[in-house]
Amino acid sequence: MEPTWDIETDLLIAGAGPAGMTVALVASIEGLTAIVCEKTRQVGGTGATSAGTLWIPGNSQSRKAGFEDSPEDAATYLDQLIGDDRASEHRRIYLQDGPRVIDYLENKTDVKFLPCGMHPDYRNNLSGAGLAGRAIIPDVFDGRLLGKDFERVRPPIPEFMLMGGMMVGKTDIVNLLGRYKSFAAFRRSASLVLRYLSDRLRFRRGTRLVMGNALIARLFYSLKKRNVSVMFQSPIKDFIREGGVVVGAVLETTNGDKRVRARKGVVLATGGFAHNTEYRKAFMPHPTPPHSMAPVSNTGDGFVLADAAGAGIDTSGQGGGLWSPVSVTTRADGTKGLFPHLAMDRAKPGLIAVNAEGRRFVNEAVSYHDFVEAMYRSHQTASTLPAWLVCERAFVTKYGLGAIHPETRDLSKHIANSYVTLAENLEELASKIGVDPNGLLDTVARNNDFARTGTDEDFGKGDMELNRFNGDPLHAPNPCLGLIEKSPFVAIAVWPAEIACSVGLSTDPSGRVLDAQHQPITGLYAVGNDMGSLMSGSYPGPGTTLGPAVVFGWRVAMHAAGLLSDQKAEA
């Protein structure tokens, strides 16, 4: 008896994040029908709250802007950083396809990108590392184009918005902070605020979208223009298999379960296992990180189904996650939030990070991923969960600290809700935050010696171009080293949190899920954070997660359409 189907399509994509929407969009362009089933009421996933950067060595957008780069150099860099492992072929194909995938989207969709220019790779002391030209960001998007569906775009975290709902990019911040220093900056700042105030007459937040929100909105807008269906509140519940082949899936919808036939396959893009306690304990370091930057709805739905169906799990993503230190905020409604300390404070002069012994354990200006890995190494001998960022109150006013914006002079609100700790001397500060006072005093004194000479003899803060890029170029002799000597003093606790899972389902370079014997499970694909990290748990540069999500999203759709140039070589 022939099975009955409620819905039929070529591709069924579980998850409306950057990877899933890319698959659906490319599939539609190449003549396939596609349906996206999304667990929540909104598109975007973790991508909507990200910085929106893609790491695409050799991209044409940067070349046109005068920034030369070579995928061959990037390959050398990745070989230095990672070596030869199961993902080497994935990385080779990623570097090969990356630039043309971006050009494909720009030429055929409303997904547009801008070059970042100067944006160093995170281990720029290795051969082949780049200083400029590899990072691109989505162009600003006008959310008003989505009409009532603008509400379907998951907003950024509140800590990333000003005035309760206004998004700002890096250049916007420069203009806002310098609004009284030039007429051009004042005009730009006034324009941003007036646009936002106008938006609030019609929308719950500002419609000028940047960073990850712009990427998500552009993908969603492109899907809408092509009439690709997105089924909201419709998580994938089970696979439908015939003779070992995945031929469809059961969706749990608001109108009951629906059996969906997927002629070309089911694509898992559900975001990894971020809030799945069992998998966190199994694949992440111990003690298990208590926080995650992923939405709470991300419980590993696709991962669980594939695991039960015999899929192989790629554990080469050492540590289980791609990391950022985060501080815990208290929002206006009393709920707790997380602020990722990516680049705005740790590299600035006059801040150190210490463990419970009051000792530094890392070059504070390294990448967010490397910082957390250092936290775990330090924690083996001294409590470093949390670690503490220590500085003067004057530092906070000048540079900001976590969710506290620059130019903030009154810290009373942040002290009252325990976001930061303030003390008149270092001994008192150490007592309040529970670190060894003698260790902290010695560490600060040593930091101050380094600040005067301009050389960090312990960890080399300021030595790498990445450090200096995020430091203060107007501060000498080292843009990343400054004195900590004038009271009062401030401390903030930071914890490890993953911004993406690195352990994922084992796939081939076409995105087909492999079983435990490394054979493809016909009809089943995985992309994004459901797919094992092709960087094997390393973090080479800005956009390490979004770049592969988009590129392999394209590859999955092209494979399903039979259009990959290397498809004939498959078994």
3-state secondary structure of 454: coil
Beta-strand runs (E) in 224-379: 229-231, 236-242, 245-253, 256-268, 291-292, 313-314, 321-330, 336-340, 351-354
Report the distance separating Cα 491 and Cα 487, nearest Å.
12
pLDDT digits (tens, 9 = 90+) for 439-463: 999 999 999 999 999 999 999 999 9
Q: Is a pLDDT exceeding 60 seen at residue 109?
A: yes
Spell out the domains of the chain, with CATH numbers in brackets.
7-139+212-272+502-569 (3.50.50.60), 141-209 (no CATH), 321-498 (3.90.700.10)
Q: How far apart are the first and last CA of the chain?
A: 31
Let me know if 95 is exposed, middle or buried by CB neighbors in 10 A (0-12, 13-18, 19+): buried
Q: Is the pLDDT of residue 150 over 80?
A: yes
CB 21 within 8 A of CB 33: no
**Distance of alpha carbon 56 from alpha carbon 315, whole angstroms:** 24
Which residues are CB-contacts of 292 (< 8 A; sequence separation ≥ 6)?
A: 274, 275, 298, 497, 498
Percent of the chain scoring above 70 in pLDDT: 98
Average pLDDT over residues 170-189: 75
pLDDT digits (tens, 9 = 90+) for 334-382: 899 999 999 899 999 999 999 999 999 999 999 999 999 999 999 999 9
d(CA 565, CA 185): 49
What's at 210, amino acid-wise? V
Angle made by CA atoms 16, 20, 25, in degrees to the nearest 5: 105
Q: Given a cut of 90, is residue 162 above it in pLDDT?
A: no
Q: For residue 150, what are the CA distances in angstroms to 23, 143, 269, 490?
A: 21, 6, 22, 40
Task: Say if residues 454 and 518 touch (Cβ distance below 8 Å).
Answer: no
- In degrees, to the nearest 5, what angle opens at C-alpha 14 toward C-alphas 554 and 137? 45
- CB-CB contact of 323 with 499 (8 Å): yes
148: phi > 0 → left, psi -120 to 50 → alpha, else beta; which? Answer: alpha
Local structure of residue 311 (DSSP, 8 states): B
How far apart are the C-alpha atoms of 376 and 382, rounded to whole Å? 10
Q: 55-96, pLDDT tens digit by residue?
A: 999 999 999 999 989 999 999 999 999 999 889 999 999 999
Q: What is the mean pLDDT of residues 291-310?
A: 95
pTM score, two decimals?
0.95
Q: What is the pLDDT of residues 241-255, one digit of tens each?
A: 999 999 999 999 999
β-pair partners for 141? 209
In whole angstroms, give the CA distance from residue 175 to residue 182: 9
- Give residue 365's Cα distance to chain centre: 18
Range with the poorest average pLDDT among 109-118, 172-181, 311-320, 366-375: 172-181
Half-sphere exposure of 55 (CA within 13 A, CB side): 24
**Residue tagged 């500002």 (tokens):** 206
pLDDT in tens, 3-22: 799 999 999 999 999 999 99
Q: Which of 103-107, 192-196, 430-434 has the lowest mean pLDDT?
A: 192-196
Q: What are the tokens at 235?
A: 């998580």
SS3 letters across 480-545: CCCCCCCCCEEEEEEEEEEEEECCEECECCCCEEEECCCCEEEEEEECHHHECCCCCCCCCCCCCC
* Token pair listed for 196: 């936002």
Residue type, 442: D
User: 84 near 106, Cβ under 8 Å?
Assistant: no
For the residues 549-569, what does the mean pLDDT come to?
90
Categorise residue 372: left if φ over 0, alpha if ψ from -120 to 50, beta otherwise: alpha
